[in-house]
Chain A
Amino acid sequence: MRSSRLLASVRRGWTISLVMVREAIFRSSRERQVFRTGKQLARGVFMYNGFMNVMGFLLISALAMYPFSMPVADRVYGFQLSTLGAVLLVVTMNFMNTFYGSWLLQNFGYLDVLKPLPVEDGELQVALIIATSLTSLWIIFAGPVLAIGAYASMNDVVLSVYSLVTVYVGALIGAALGYLVASMVGGRRYVTPSYKTALMQLAQTLLVLFTLTAYYIVLSIFPLVIRTVRKFAISLRGSILHTLLYAIYPINIAFTGGDTLLETVQLAVQLLWLMGSWLFYRYGALRFCRSALNPKHRMIMHPVKPLTRSVIYRVPASMAVAFKDLKMVFRDARYSSTLLLPLVMLIPAFINWYGRARAQLMILANYLAMVEVSTLALSLQSMQVEGRYGWLSLYHLGSRRKLAKGKLVLSTLTAVAYILPVSLILIFSMDIAAALISVSCIPASMGASAILISTLVKGLKPDQPIAYRGGYIAMAAIPMLHSSLSFAIYSSGQALLGILLGWALAIALAILGWVCIDKVPEIP
């Protein structure tokens, strides 16, 4: 009798939580103006959680690779350290995720809709646990990453399984603690922090986490399932697959143990990543391309015009626009996370670079590709913010070209800031060829950003999600191929060819970018 009631509670809790999470994700994307007013800043928790997810996942990946940087004799020590670090990380991060998620769901209106409905406290508890667990999805992927890392460095299945289990246990403990503290701090009627309740919550969390694991594995494996449930969880889908996209990167890095076979696997995974992204966003991407190539919009396919105008004359105005945006960059969580992503990626890149193994160049290629993608994402998000806050129609009126160039300066600054230190280290390491390739990422990023920005300014409403999805993925493919291909050729021993290809692609992109951005029309 008790078990059937519990089951019924869980079922109803599940229904409620799915709706709440969908609403929360929806609100977080719709209400990004919370950063402007500051009043409802806390609602950004779901963005914060998204950022935490990415951060956590990348840190776990760095930890998974840590033993690689040690001599074989010391790898047991390295493994112990990285497992301990991973467990501490998941406990802390899941605590934060659950604490903020739960507390905010209780206090910021997500439960108001449920007020008039006959929802039992137990059902609400289950709903809250499920809802907050959904924001900690990265842990589901973090376990396998650590396990793969452990297996690759130790070649030991038992230790690999051990690391997997400890991460999940740590996640559970963190979630239960976070939920309990949120209950006490939240001070609402929904939770009574007692010993018995704590045990119940732990049991419920376990149940929920395992259910979710199964649920998302199914979602991840079968794209058909994703399509079927698309209508049911449009917002969720975005977040899940976004997590997945980021997830494959570090898995891919973890694979690169140091021989040619693994490098090939790594490249294959990278290509799969691209294909997967393309498939996922196919409608968006196709629509984007159709729109971009539409003669009506006169975007990319312009005849090359002589580059006669003075660059120096235009730079100050563009810089002014770019710096006006800097304030927003640090106020918008998603913006900041884009900026910080390469920084996080820098950790595994340098850990591996420190090992000085020549095969680790692919890690560097990954890093540079990520910088290029992030630069693009930054341009794109910057345009979205412009659209959302209405600046396009206010102080930029009549000066779209200036605006576009300002955005270009902003995104280029980011690329330079992240790529130059890497290039300098490569120069000091006397790896001049790799340094030359890495510097070519700057004009490649600039060119791709310029194409993207001019397309958005001219042809599409910047706030359109379709532009975001399609543009991001379609354009991301170009710079990723640039750095991946040139480094792949270089690491296979063809240094000169790698440099030539890298610079040829970069120059082609830069010229195309220049032409596009120069064609952005002023408002008549």
Chain B
Amino acid sequence: MGSIVCMNLVKRYGDVTALDGVSFKVDAGEVVGLLGPNGSGKSTTMKILLGFVRPDGGYALVDGVNPVEDPVEVRRRVGYVPENIVLYESLTPKEYFEFVARVRGLTREEYEDRVVKFVKAFEIEEYMDVLITALSKGSKQKVALISALLHEPDVLILDEPLMGLDATSARIFKEYLRMRALRGAAVLLSTHIMEIAEKICDRIVLLHRGRVVVSGSVEEVKSGLESLEEVLLKVTGISGELREVVEALS
């Protein structure tokens, strides 16, 4: 049973305040969408949760572990897909999965059982022996997703995980996330595609300029507006500007 807690997180890069007292939690069994415009602090929050970045104030707990104190333990428990995926491109997907499994200490049986399952689900059997560098963006994304899921973590932190995926794979992945949540995983998902957030998230945390501006269930956040996109435009105060820009273009 996983969980994520962010409590008054503050992060500054020089004069720029990236996070200014961000607090939210993701309970076991929840899929929470972390939304916001570019530069709102989503990626910084995720980096703090993984222990890549040290917060200047507040604290975070991932499955009860503070990433500042024990980042390796956090990474052991988390499945993470970064926005810009980095893979060892000189390996084939098969070799890469084996590598990740060895580093994560999976047994041969666990590895084989899971890889077969994921590879079939995401339809990359035919690319298993092709160098990753030769794969399409979508296939690389699938490799990154599978390697994040191989150890069946109780906490999933996913930054734009559906980027480049075809419709079938995206659907499968969304269903898988729901299933993982039902089994007690805590899922934090960042995306710019509001429809996806509306469909798969239980709750939404909307960040703007490093602060949580709206938080609650999808229906609560929408509060009578047509879509999450409308909510985002409204709370970030750019709906008026947007109209002007569109009119200028036309």
Question: If A12-B103, A15-B102, A19-B99 touch, does A116 touch B90 (CB 8 Å cutoff)?
Answer: no
CA distance A16 to B164 in the complex (A): 28
Asked if A119 CB lies within 8 Å of chain B CBs, one says: yes
Which among B82, B89, B91, B104 is the interface contact of A117 at CB below 8 angstroms? B104
CA distance A113 to B73 in the complex (A): 17
CA distance A116 to B100 in the complex (A): 10
CA distance A386 to B199 in the complex (A): 51
B90 engages A119 (CB within 8 Å): no
B interface bracket (residues with beta carbon within 8 Å of A): 20 to 34
Q: Provide the main secondary structure of the chain A interface.
A: helix
CA distance A12 to B101 in the complex (A): 11
CA distance A396 to B23 in the complex (A): 61
Question: If A15-B103, A30-B133 touch, does A116 touch B88 (CB 8 Å cutoff)?
Answer: no
Which residues of A112-143 have CB atoms within 8 Å of chain B's CB atoms?
A: 112-120
Question: If A15-B99, A30-B133 touch, does A118 touch B73 (CB 8 Å cutoff)?
Answer: yes
CA distance A20 to B86 in the complex (A): 13
Q: Chain B's nearest CB lies how many Å from the CB of A113?
A: 5
Asked if B176 CB lies within 8 Å of chain A CBs, one says: no
B78 engages A116 (CB within 8 Å): yes
Instruction: Mark each residue of chain A from 10 to 47: 1 if its CB lies under 8 Å from any CB of chain B, else 0.
Output: 00100110011011011100100000000000000000
B103 engages A26 (CB within 8 Å): no
Question: If A16-B103, A118-B75 touch, does A26 touch B86 (CB 8 Å cutoff)?
Answer: no
Q: Chain A: which residue is nearest B52 at the CB level?
A: A115
- Find chain B residues with CB under 8 A from A118 CB: 72-73, 75-76, 103-104
Asked if A491 CB lies within 8 Å of chain B CBs, one says: no
Which residues of A197-220 have CB atoms within 8 Å of chain B's CB atoms?
A: none
B90 engages A27 (CB within 8 Å): yes
Instruction: Mark each residue of chain B from 84 to 112: 1 if its CB lies under 8 Å from any CB of chain A, else 0.
Output: 00111111000000011011100000000
Asked if B148 CB lies within 8 Å of chain A CBs, one says: yes
B90 engages A235 (CB within 8 Å): yes
- Find chain B residues with CB under 8 A from A12 CB: 102-103
Asked if B122 CB lies within 8 Å of chain A CBs, one says: no
CA distance A112 to B90 in the complex (A): 15
Asked if B80 CB lies within 8 Å of chain A CBs, one says: yes
Asked if A355 CB lies within 8 Å of chain B CBs, one says: no
Q: Chain A: which residue is nearest B47 at the CB level?
A: A115
Asked if B50 CB lies within 8 Å of chain A CBs, one says: yes
- Find chain A residues with CB under 8 A from B75 CB: 116-119
B82 engages A116 (CB within 8 Å): yes
Q: Chain B: which residue is nearest A15 at the CB level?
A: B102
A113 engages B90 (CB within 8 Å): no
A19 engages B91 (CB within 8 Å): yes
A113 engages B86 (CB within 8 Å): yes
Which among A19, A109, A120 is the interface contact of B86 at CB below 8 angstroms? A109
- Find chain A residues with CB under 8 A from B104 CB: 117-118
CA distance A35 to B133 in the complex (A): 20
Which among B82, B89, B99, B148 is the interface contact of A26 at CB below 8 angstroms? B89
Question: If A19-B91, A30-B133, A113-B86 touch, does A119 touch B103 (CB 8 Å cutoff)?
Answer: yes
Q: Chain A's nearest CB lies how many Å from the CB of B132?
A: 10
Question: If A12-B103, A30-B133, A118-B103 touch, does A23 touch B88 (CB 8 Å cutoff)?
Answer: yes
The 6 closest A-B pairs by CB, nearest first: A26-B90, A118-B76, A116-B80, A118-B75, A112-B86, A23-B88
A-B contact pairs, 28 of them (CB 8 A): A12-B102, A15-B102, A16-B103, A19-B91, A20-B88, A22-B91, A23-B88, A23-B89, A23-B91, A25-B90, A26-B89, A27-B89, A30-B133, A109-B86, A112-B86, A113-B86, A113-B87, A115-B86, A116-B50, A116-B75, A116-B78, A117-B75, A117-B100, A117-B103, A117-B104, A118-B72, A118-B75, A118-B103
